Every structure is written in C-alpha cells, then in structure tokens.
Amino acid sequence: MCGGEGKRLWPLSRRSLPKYYVPLADGESLFQKAVRRALRTSAVEDVLLVTTEVNKHSALKQARAVESSFPSSNLIIRPEGKETFATLACALGVMVDRGANPDDILICAPSDHVIEDVDQYEHTFRKAAEAAKSSVVVIGIQPTEPSDQFGYIEYDAEKQNGAAHVVKRFTEKPDRAKAKEFLDQGNYLWNGGFYIGSHRGYFDEMKKIMPKAAEIISRGSTGIAEQFEDLPDRSIDYELSEKLSQLQVVPATFAWDDYGDLESFIPARGVDQEHASFDGENVTVCADKKLVVSVGVSDTIIVDTRDALLVAHKDHAGGLSKIVNELKKREHAAADHHHTGYRPWGVYEVLEEEPGYVIKKITVDPGCSSSIQKHSKRSEHWVVVAGTATITLDDKEFTLETNESLHIPVNAKHRIKNETDKPLVLIEVQTGSYLEEDDVVREEDPYLKEKPIRM
C-alpha cells in the first residue's frame, strides 16, 4: 500500500511525496525497504504496488532501484479519496483478473513501517500465511507505551493455532487511559496494519458483511473501475477487523516503528542540521542548507522547506493532519505539493512561479530520458548548465553542451536524454497561458512499456 498522503509529517511529507518515498540516512526510503521485505516472501511478479496517479513515478522508480525487473504491469493506479479498504479491494481485483486459486495468499502490507530484522519478518509472515489457511490474520506488535495512535487487538491467550491466537476484540485508537488498562491486562497488541488472508478467506468474510463490495470485487479490475465510488470509504481496520466472524493474530517477533511523527522522522533522514539554541531546550529543527537560530524557545518543532515553514509546539504536533485538511480547504497548494517533483528520469525543482511563466531546475539521471511529448499551451526554453544533453525535437536529434540553449515551440514533439555517466542539469523556462503539469501528451514512455492497471 503506497498511495497515502503522510499528513502527520507535513511539510516534509505531502500528497505528492509521502514520507515513505523520502530517502533516509542510508539512502533508501521506507518504501524501498518494504519492497525488499516483500521479495522475501513473494516472487517479483507477485508483488503488487497499489498507489495513486500522483505517486506512480516514485513507486515504480524506487521499486526498480531495488529490483530492476519490476514490471510496470504490477503497478495498480487507484483513484484518490478513499481509505485502505479500497486498496485491499484493488489487490483482490487483480487476483481475480489473474485467475488466483482459492488458497492463494494475499499479504496486504503498509509501506511506512520500520523493520530492521528482515529474517524475523519473513519468519513471522510465513507463520501468518500458514494460519491464514483457516481465517484472516493480522500481525500484532508488542506495545511499548499506552499510545492513542494505534488500534488494539485483544487476543485469547488460551486459544492458539500454531503461532496464531484467536482475536477476541479489536478497538480502534482508544484514549490513553483505556490504552493503559489494555497494557495492564497483558493480552493486547498493537495492530500493525498488516493483513494476511487467502483469496477464499477474504471473499467468504466479505460476502457476509459487505455483499455489495464482494460482488464488485468479484468482477475484477473492470468491476472496481466501474463502481469504485460504491466501495466502502473507510480503512481495513474499520471495515473488516471489527466485523470479521473469525480473526487471528500472530505476534510479531521483530522490532517495529512507524516514524509516525516529525520528531522521530527528522533524525531518521540523517541530514546534518546547523542549529544554535539560546535560552531554550528540546527544539527539533529541519531546515536543509540553512542555519536556524532559536532564542527563548523550548519544546518546539521547526521545519523549513522552500515553500512552507512550520513552527509547532511538540504538544500540538500530533494534530498536523487536521491542519493540512484546513490548508486544503483554504486552497494552499503547499498542502499537497512540494516545489520538488520526482520523475522516473530524475527530479525537477520549481525556482520561481508567476502568472505566465515558471522557472525550473531539472536534473536528468545518468542513462535516463524523458518520454517523447508535446505541450499544447506552453513553450519551453532550455539552458544546459551541467553535462551533455541529447535532444529530440520533432524529426531532428542533436546534442546540447553546457551553456547552450534551445527553444521548444508549442506542440513541438521533444525528448531529452542523458547518455553520459554524470547528472545532466538544465534550467527550463516555461511560458504560456496554462502551465500546469497535465498539459502534456506523451507519445512514448520508456518507463511504462507494460501498461499499469488503472482502477
């Protein structure tokens, strides 16, 4: 599952680049680590990425950095606007399309979890897959504190099926007082958000508790695409966990975290931060390439990006999701989008944007190229500032060296390649009446030779 928004970590995480695509200290993202874990239990052709249109490039590029043969036909692009049950539905629909056997197992896994011990991860999930032959299984995490940020699973310590226990009750995000009661009882686990079930097991339960959704999913991706709006709008936790006639839990044998707040995520990025604090304490700062000086400030988080500055008391940082929703209502573009955009060929950064023109810095990775494309409402001017560009413009192909430039008229077919072993950097100036990213017609996309599945 890799199509969320990551609003709790705004402005580092946004809809256009959720937290699990952001590189950490070792250079890999949480998403890439999740792909590596998935390949411990499944063949590459059986790993499905369920994401949204805005994140399709990040998902495919990062998956291929882990496994170069990852097929774009295993990229499922679902509409936005629904919670995780719709994601599960999409994966089940593809299993229907591909003629899955009733006993085939589907592991539904989040992309934003921190799990270092992959051997124990594999061990836990193989035990869960065995238990899933009889009913749907969740993975339970041993609680470390009475948190109100997780769902709690009460299990029957005396009823066990191999490594699995029968679930007695599921409680979604209780208050801290109730959570403490759960921990004191000893037979409660956090819900880790992992679901494991057989094709038959999922459908048997859905037919009982949500027959309309089961009917839609039974028609595969076509049925889901036609009736996506009719699928339930809530999470798997609400739609399934609290209603299943039988649910089992396998306790995790690995350490787990989710970097669920800025205070834990900022240091995980491994970026050195210059910060001078005077007459204050307990200040967490993230402002890349900038010295931050705080005076008389304590218990505060400061995050400075190119287009947004967050200053929040740590006691209130847990409410960022609501703040982001309010920013969206006020139509602030920074609520959803970074000034930096990620593409299969590299990255672009918006340097300046005004009515009638946009200036971008574009970096094309070694050996990569854009698609052949054209724009109907804007022209572009490129200036190479580092590297060598191989250009296709209509029926011509030529190179541009550093300090050379090119004008691309409206509706001209064009492509840029970096055929060298060093990054190619250029400045792009767009001018026209409409400058949004959707003004593009692609005639050839080298990164999506096999069509992704659109729901």
Q: What is the pLDDT of residue 447?
A: 74
CA–CA distance, 271 with 380 (Å, rounded to integer): 34
What confidence tens digit (pLDDT) does each residue in 13-56 have? Answer: 999 899 999 999 999 999 999 999 999 999 999 999 999 988 99
Q: Summarize the confidence of residues 181-203 as an average pLDDT.
A: 94
Nearest CA among 326, 194, 311 for reference residue 262:
311
Residue 444, pLDDT above cutoff 80: no
Quick check: 410 and 375 in contact, CB under 8 A?
A: yes
Q: What is the pLDDT of residue 136?
A: 94
Q: What is the pLDDT of residue 3?
A: 84
The residues that bridge with 171 in the sheet, in sequence order, are: 152
Which pLDDT band holds residue 73 (cuts at 50, 70, 90)?
very high
Share the mean pLDDT of the chain.
93
Which pLDDT band holds residue 450 (cuts at 50, 70, 90)?
confident
What confidence tens digit (pLDDT) does each residue in 132-142 have? Answer: 998 999 999 99
Which pLDDT band holds residue 74 (cuts at 50, 70, 90)?
very high
To the nearest whole percent, how much of the chain has pLDDT over 90?
A: 78
Q: Using CB atoms within 10 Å of the CB of residue 186, give its burial: 0 to 12 exposed, 13 to 18 middle, 19+ buried.
A: exposed
Comparing 111-120, 183-192, 240-249, 373-382, which segment has the lowest mean pLDDT? 240-249
Q: What is the pLDDT of residue 263?
A: 92
Residue 449, pLDDT above cutoff 80: no
CA–CA distance, 117 with 212 (Å, rounded to integer): 40
Which residue has better confidence, 318 or 197? 197
The residues that bridge with 408 in the sheet, in sequence order, are: 380
Residue 448, pLDDT above cutoff 80: no
Which pLDDT band holds residue 148 (cuts at 50, 70, 90)?
confident
Quick check: 75 and 56 in contact, CB under 8 A?
A: yes
Quick check: 201 and 167 in contact, CB under 8 A?
A: no
Q: What is the pLDDT of residue 415?
A: 96
Residue 446, pLDDT above cutoff 80: no
Nearest CA among 372, 427, 421, 423 for reference residue 397:
372
Planar angle of CA 319, 240, 185, nearest 5 degrees: 70
Q: Summarize the confidence of residues 416-421 as an average pLDDT.
A: 97
Residue 157, pLDDT above cutoff 90: no
The residues that bridge with 362 in the sheet, in sequence order, are: 348, 426
Residue that has been written with the tokens 């955009």 in this structure: 341
Q: What is the pLDDT of residue 160?
A: 81
Terminal Cα-to-Cα distance of the chain (whole angstroms): 15
Q: Which is it for strands 164-171 and 152-161: parallel, antiparallel or unpaired?
A: antiparallel
Q: What is the pLDDT of residue 241?
A: 79
Which pLDDT band holds residue 162 (cuts at 50, 70, 90)?
confident
Which pLDDT band holds residue 188 (cuts at 50, 70, 90)?
very high
Cis before 11 (ω within 30): yes
What confidence tens digit (pLDDT) does each residue in 207-230 have? Answer: 999 999 999 999 999 999 999 999
Q: What is the pLDDT of residue 143?
A: 92
Both structure tokens of 442? 């692609």
Q: What is the pLDDT of residue 451?
A: 84
Q: Summarize the confidence of residues 260-282 as an average pLDDT.
A: 92
Quick check: 118 and 43 in contact, CB under 8 A?
A: no
> How would you write the chain as a 3-class SS string?
CCCCCCHHHCCCCECCECHHHCCCCCCCCHHHHHHHHHHHHCCHHHCCEEECHHHHHHHHHHHHHHCCCCCHHHEEECCCCCCHHHHHHHHHHHHHHCCCCCCCEEEECCCCCECCCHHHHHHHHHHHHHHCCCCEEEEEECCCCCCCCCCEEEEEEEEEECCEEEEEEEECCCCHHHHHHHHHHCCEEEEEEEEEEEHHHHHHHHHHHCHHHHHHHHCHHHHHHHHHHHCCCCCHHHHHHCCCCCEEEEECCCCCECCCCHHHHHHHCCCCCCEEEECCCCEEEECCCCCEEEECCCCEEEEECCCCEEEEECCCHHHHHHHHHHHHHCCCHHHCCCCEEEECCEEEEEEEEECCEEEEEEEECCCCECCEEECCCEEEEEEEEECCEEEEECCEEEEECCCCEEEECCCCCEEEECCCCCCEEEEEEEEECCCCCCCCEEEECCCCCCCCEEC
What confidence tens digit (pLDDT) does each residue in 287-345 have? Answer: 988 999 999 999 999 999 989 999 999 999 989 999 999 999 999 989 998 888 888 89
Q: What is the pLDDT of residue 387?
A: 97
Q: Which is it for strands 441-444 and 340-343: parallel, antiparallel or unpaired?
A: unpaired
pTM above 0.85, yes or no: yes
